[in-house]
Amino acid sequence: MRVKSNSIFIGDDLTQTLLEIPKSLFALAKNDIKEPEAGIDCIICTRHWHQVCALHLDQIWSEGFICTTCIHQYNIKRKENHYIASKLSVNDLSSQLEKRVNDFLHNQGCQTGHVTIRILSSYDKICLVKPQLKKYYPCQAANGYPYRTKAIFAFQKIEDVDVIFCGMYVQEYDEHCPAPNTRRLYILYFDTVHFFQPKIYRTNVYHEILIGYLDYVKQHGYMYAHVWAYPANEGIDYLFHRHPYEQRMLKPTRLQDWCKKMLDKAIAERIVIDYKDIMQDCLDNHVQTVLDIPYFDGDFWPFIIENNIEKLEQEEYANLDDPFESEDSTEISGKRKSVNTYEHKKLKKTTDPMSNSTYLLSTIFSAMEKYKDTFFVIRLHNQITSYSTGNEINAVIQCDLMDTRYAFLSFACDKNYEFSSLRRAKFSTMSLLHELHTSTTDKLIYKCNACRQQCDIRYHCRECKDFDLCEKCYDIEPQHEHEMKRSILSIVDVSQYGKQNSLNVDDKSIANILYKITAMKINATLN
């Protein structure tokens, strides 16, 4: 785009003729519309403060806000805030991670604010096998893969207040989970906001958290960990609402190097045995059908598999329909077409289910070949370990607010809790901690009353109290007796779900899928 005198010239390529549009046709707008900040008055001197700067919540200090000037001048003792990170309940995972990170900092001779790590949510879920795959392998495909999901978050005391700076969502598929997911771990999201101090240890601390977690799951008998290292697209937040504008995102190759650096440290510590890309892992494991590829909630491959099966079925349908009808109407002569279709059929689709299955796998492999560099398969044990992964002894931590990233993101979004600056991160963390301690009954997410899965698109009964169904269960006969209203959870990127039907298998759309499913992906800062 170019601006010149009274016109604006628009075009993708500056070397080409640009489209001229008079300035008068444009409406004046601001790039970043900021909401006016909430204000608050000191109850003694009545000076007006930004609520965020004042770090005041009436729920914590019900007597009202007293500014720092008055606190000093009148020697007032401000009531202590008890809703702090270190007072959230601990378990063995959180203690182990916290100890590791603080020991690391201590050993570096780093005098810095204490790091607190807590598991904010931990409960059992099922990764349902998507419908196309289920239809393709009606007998062999599992219905779903049960797993334990955990939300792990890290806080640091900065100027005596907790600041949240790192979070991850993980999926643990234990020894009872059917193959190929047995004893596998999937890191779904890892996200940071760059407030950890001092800055020079930031990357190290992120690595310590990840290595500490790999160490923990290794001790509990997990064999493999999977990471999809793919940075967030601009404007998409994985976990924290509104990242600092100046926080630089790693480019995909830098992010892969970031992961490799972390994994090499873990190898040196004998926590990780080795790591490879997903393609190599499939070859080493002699994957025979797509059913042998590990299948995780929110991962890239389940989407690609669905998509490719659909594409195959469309081809088959087109072929059955009329062998002389080409899919591409711009093609040449009818005779040539029929030969093409025949060859195509012979090469790709046959009535033999075995070779169809092989063909499907080959389409997945060719996608894998292209994207393998972003998918890490990390080996933690050499042989099948016999000990239990021990999720039974890990207490469930039910927390609607942190159950999923959607819940956390929509909470932050609704209440304007930004992480765009240290000032705001302090206030947002304080409010979040208060919420976590008092665990409000506010329902931020909706769970389907039939299948208990979280629904982004939900059908709400107009008559029953608190009755919602997900899209899938809503379609199941017999339908619910009352009229239901469809609504969509309003957060930034719900668009990623429910759209998979429109996806295509070519490169452009794979890039598109990558864009739409912003699933895992590590989002880390440069030092």
DSSP code per residue over 333-378: -HHHHHHHHHHHHHHT--S-HHHHHHHHHHHHHHHHHHHGGGEEEE
Q: Is the peptide bond before 478 cis (omega within 30 degrees of 0)?
A: yes
Candidate list 126, 128, 451, 457; residue touching Zn ion; CB under 5 A: 451
470 touches Zn ion by CB under 5 A: yes
Minimum distance between the CB of residue 398 and Zn ion, rounded to whole angstroms?
19
Minimum distance between the CB of residue 105 and Zn ion, rounded to whole angstroms?
31
464 touches Zn ion by CB under 5 A: yes
Beta strands in 213-346 (DSSP E): 224-228, 274-277
Alpha carbon distance 213, 92 (integer Å): 11
Q: Is 308 strand, coil or helix?
A: helix
Piece of 109-117, 401-409, 430-438, 478-486 that binds Zn ion (CB under 5 A): 478-486
C-alpha dihedral (386, 390, 391, 392), degrees to nearest 10: 110
Minimum distance between the CB of residue 134 and Zn ion, rounded to whole angstroms?
15
Neighbours of 279 (CB within 10 A): 19
Q: CB-based burial of residue 87 (10 Å sphere; 0-12 exposed, 13-18 middle, 19+ buried)?
A: middle
67 touches Zn ion by CB under 5 A: yes
Which one, 334 or 498, has the nearer CB to Zn ion? 498
Alpha carbon distance 217, 209 (integer Å): 12
Candidate list 20, 463, 475, 506; residue touching Zn ion; CB under 5 A: 463
C-alpha dihedral (168, 174, 179, 184), degrees to nearest 10: 40
Minimum distance between the CB of residue 475 and Zn ion, rounded to whole angstroms?
10
Contact string 27-46 vs Zn ion (x = CB under 5 A): ---------------x-xx-
Alpha carbon distance 221, 215 (integer Å): 10
457 touches Zn ion by CB under 5 A: no
Minimum distance between the CB of residue 404 and Zn ion, rounded to whole angstroms?
15
Minimum distance between the CB of residue 55 and Zn ion, rounded to whole angstroms?
10
Contact 293, 287 (CB under 8 A): yes
79 touches Zn ion by CB under 5 A: no
Region 480-509 residues binding Zn ion, contact defined as CB under 5 A: 482
160 CB-near residues (< 8 Å, 6+ apart) = none
50 touches Zn ion by CB under 5 A: yes
Q: Is the peptide bond before 198 cis (omega within 30 degrees of 0)?
A: yes
Alpha carbon distance 456, 445 (integer Å): 8
53 touches Zn ion by CB under 5 A: yes
Alpha carbon distance 491, 489 (integer Å): 6
8 touches Zn ion by CB under 5 A: no
70 touches Zn ion by CB under 5 A: yes
Minimum distance between the CB of residue 474 and Zn ion, rounded to whole angstroms?
8
Minimum distance between the CB of residue 477 and Zn ion, rounded to whole angstroms?
14
Which one, 415 or 482, has the nearer CB to Zn ion? 482
Piece of 130-138, 157-165, 175-183, 445-453 that binds Zn ion (CB under 5 A): 445-453
Backbone torsions φ then ψ of 95, nearest 5 degrees: -65, -40
Q: Which of 419, 433, 432 is nearest to 84 (CA)?
A: 433
422 touches Zn ion by CB under 5 A: no
Beta strands in 266-348 (DSSP E): 274-277
Piece of 14-22, 70-78, 210-218, 501-509 that binds Zn ion (CB under 5 A): 70-78
Neighbours of 152 (CB within 10 A): 24
**Terminal-residue alpha carbon distance, the chain:** 33
Q: Is 41 strand, coil or helix?
A: strand
401 CB-near residues (< 8 Å, 6+ apart) = 120, 407, 408, 411, 432, 435, 436, 439, 440, 444
448 touches Zn ion by CB under 5 A: yes
User: How many amino acids of this chain bind Zn ion (CB under 5 A)?
Assistant: 16
Candidate list 249, 267, 413, 461; residue touching Zn ion; CB under 5 A: 461
Minimum distance between the CB of residue 131 and Zn ion, rounded to whole angstroms?
13
Minimum distance between the CB of residue 49 and Zn ion, rounded to whole angstroms?
7
Which one, 152 or 448, has the nearer CB to Zn ion? 448
128 touches Zn ion by CB under 5 A: no
21 touches Zn ion by CB under 5 A: no
Which one, 267 or 457, has the nearer CB to Zn ion? 457
117 touches Zn ion by CB under 5 A: no
Candidate list 473, 513, 517, 524; residue touching Zn ion; CB under 5 A: 473
For residue 311, which amino acid is it? Answer: K
Which one, 49 or 375, has the nearer CB to Zn ion? 49
Piece of 238-246, 272-280, 281-289, 466-474 that binds Zn ion (CB under 5 A): 466-474
Which residues are at the interface with Zn ion (CB under 5 A)? 42, 44-45, 50, 53, 67, 70, 448, 450-451, 461, 463-464, 470, 473, 482
